[in-house]
Chain A
Amino acid sequence: MKNTENVPYMSFREIKKKYPDSWVLLLDPKPHPTGMGYYGGRPVYKHKEKMKAMEKASELPKGSFFGVAYTGEIKMPKNTVICL
């Protein structure tokens, strides 16, 4: 992974606008003031597949604080009941 130190902090709204419908690897994610979701972070990688973004996370330096956020709308398949 390229040098991530200079990647600027962006709000999650800005990240969504810049990288729509993507899985974004965020360094130093800031939890939303409500305690749910992200308020923002430093986007260091994006991909259409979640697995690729998760794999990239393993390349981060040891001790990193990170998150993988989806900037699209999560759609559940129709006529599907979730029974975990």
Chain B
Amino acid sequence: MSLKHFPLEYSGTLITVSVTLHGRSGSFVGKLALDTASNRTILTPPALLAIGHTYSPSSKKLSVTTGSGRDSAFEEYINGIEALGIAANRFNVVCKPLPLPLYFLDGLLGLDFFQKTKASICLDFEKANISTSKPS
């Protein structure tokens, strides 16, 4: 199991991660907030659209519970996702807009990314880095 270290990157006060999203039309490097309190990875509609995915009548609709109430969303499979030296193929994301103050984000990197890849993550605020490792 090899450990990879990445410096902590902040956008405002949030920890953000550069995430490469692979979709039908291309690959997009977006900025997602690291949110381990979110059980799913969320992409904003423009981010999903940028890689060639959009809402269709066959999209599965979901109810999302947030800190401020309930919202509706849909889910979509994308070809792949890469972040912090970890990659997952055919990954199911939730599509939902984020509130306006978070205009600079393309989504949230949720717990499911680490669960699916069986990766571990460690935030070290003293060294100002994130370490990830994945069973080989």
Number of interface residues of B (CB under 8 A): 36
Q: In the complex, what distance in Å separates the CA atom of A70 from the CA atom of B89?
A: 28
Q: In the complex, what distance in Å separates the CA atom of A62 from the CA atom of B33?
A: 27
- Contact present for A36 and B9 (CB under 8 Å): yes
With beta carbons under 8 angstroms apart, the residue of A51, A54, A55, A62 that contacts B25 is: A62
Q: In the complex, what distance in Å separates the CA atom of A7 from the CA atom of B73?
A: 38
Of chain B, the residue at the smallest CB distance from A82 is: B14
Q: Smallest Cβ distance from B91 to chain A, in angstroms?
A: 18
- Contact present for B50 and A37 (CB under 8 Å): no
Number of interface residues of A (CB under 8 A): 31
- Note all chain A residues with C-beta closer than 8 A to B35: 84
Q: In the complex, what distance in Å separates the CA atom of A75 from the CA atom of B27?
A: 27
- Contact present for B49 and A74 (CB under 8 Å): no
Q: Which residues of B contact A (CB under 8 A)?
A: 4, 6-7, 9, 11-14, 17-18, 25-30, 33, 35, 37-38, 46-47, 49-50, 52, 66-68, 84-85, 101-104, 106, 108
A-B CB proximity, top 5 nearest: A76-B12, A67-B29, A54-B46, A64-B26, A36-B9
